[in-house]
Amino acid sequence: MATQSIVITGSTRGIGRGLAAEFLKRGHLVTVSGRTQVAVDEAVAALTPLAVGGARVVGAPCDVADAAAVQRLWDTAAGAFGRVDVWINNAGLSHPRRQIGELHAADIDVVADTNLLGMMLGTQVALVGMRKQTDGGTIWNMEGFGSNGMTSPGMSLYGASKFALTYFNKALLAETRGETVKVCWLSPGIVVTDLVKRDMGSASGPEIARTRRIYDILADRVETVTPWLADQVLRPHKAGDRVAWLTNGKAFRRFAGSLFRKRKVLSDADFAAG
């Protein structure tokens, strides 16, 4: 497999960092990003020993809601590696599980800016840059709760940002039909990250037990999901492809299996960390 240059937004921790690690283990060139230089430097230092077969990792601080910062992220990757083959819009935030009338304005701003505006800016920068490359490239936009229209009390803002991503990707597919730049979906399912821990920590009352039970049935650890996701991303794809870890069939089998066998994904420390 040819070496690929891969940019991952929001990759100093969680799924993004897990993906970066897996790509480096497979011999690829990775550019990571986070909100601060300190976080980026720490991630690069920790990830560098994982690189094999000529793989390298560089990083740049990037607020994905800042168009200039997103462009600098592209420039960092292109400057270090000569091109960008894969761009993954992974950066995402959630908010405390509260109904919209109870959310603070700051929560609304940061979730909308990161999940929606940040994804759009990342896509735009990657699209413009990849169109200048002979072989184009692939843009992956990360799905989440709400992408399929599912609703849940307290998740209106986060879910709306992901449902908008679905529309945005569909529109992009029409705009880029026949091009060498491909737009695809990446769906990691429910992964135990800081975002999920915050959601668990904001649950209250009878909702706590139900939330924990659902996560123990459906959730997975970063180290379980990211090797598979990385392998799938590295395969050849057509525009509009969707790579999904937690399919409807898998979810159904897990619920059915939970009647006979209890999965234990979460620890008490995970639940308290929110």
Q: How far is CA 21 from CA 32, 201, 223, in A?
A: 10, 27, 10
CATH class of domain segment(s) 5-191+222-247: alpha beta
Q: What pLDDT does residue 205 have?
A: 59
Q: What pLDDT does residue 76 have?
A: 98
**For the segment 152-169, what is each residue's pLDDT rounded down to a tens digit?**
777 888 889 999 999 999
**For the segment 155-208, what is each residue's pLDDT rounded down to a tens digit?**
888 889 999 999 999 999 999 999 999 999 999 998 988 766 666 555 555 666
Give CB contacts under 8 A, 24+ apart, made by 234-238: 234/1, 234/4, 234/23, 234/26, 234/28, 237/138, 237/182, 237/184, 238/182
**For the segment 35-75, what is each residue's pLDDT rounded down to a tens digit?**
999 999 999 999 999 999 999 999 999 999 999 999 999 99
**For the segment 106-144, what is each residue's pLDDT rounded down to a tens digit?**
888 889 999 999 999 999 999 999 999 999 999 999 998
d(CA 112, CA 157): 8
Q: What pLDDT does residue 196 have?
A: 64
pLDDT category at 271 given cuts 50, 70, 90 is low
Distance from CA of residue 269 to its chain's centroid?
Answer: 23
**For the segment 202-253, what is each residue's pLDDT rounded down to a tens digit?**
555 566 677 778 888 998 999 999 999 999 999 999 999 999 999 999 999 9
Q: What pLDDT does residue 215 have?
A: 83
d(CA 241, CA 167): 15
pTM metric for this prediction: 0.91
Q: Over the chain, what is the mean pLDDT?
A: 90
Q: What pLDDT does residue 148 have?
A: 87
Question: What is the residue whose two structure tokens read 């649950």?
Answer: 203
Q: Catalytic residue at 158?
A: yes
In the set 74, 81, 158, 245, the catalytic residue is 158
Beta carbons of 140 and 11 less than 8 angstroms apart:
no
pLDDT at residue 83 is higher than 60: yes
Beta carbons of 168 and 105 less than 8 angstroms apart:
no
Q: What pLDDT does residue 100 have?
A: 81
Which tokens belong to 199? Answer: 């959601």
Q: What pLDDT does residue 213 have?
A: 84
Which tokens belong to 261? Answer: 């066998």
Average the pLDDT over 147-151 and give the result.
Answer: 84
Give CB contacts under 8 A, 24+ apart, made by 69-73: 70/9, 70/118, 70/121, 70/122, 70/125, 71/125, 73/7, 73/9, 73/31, 73/33, 73/125
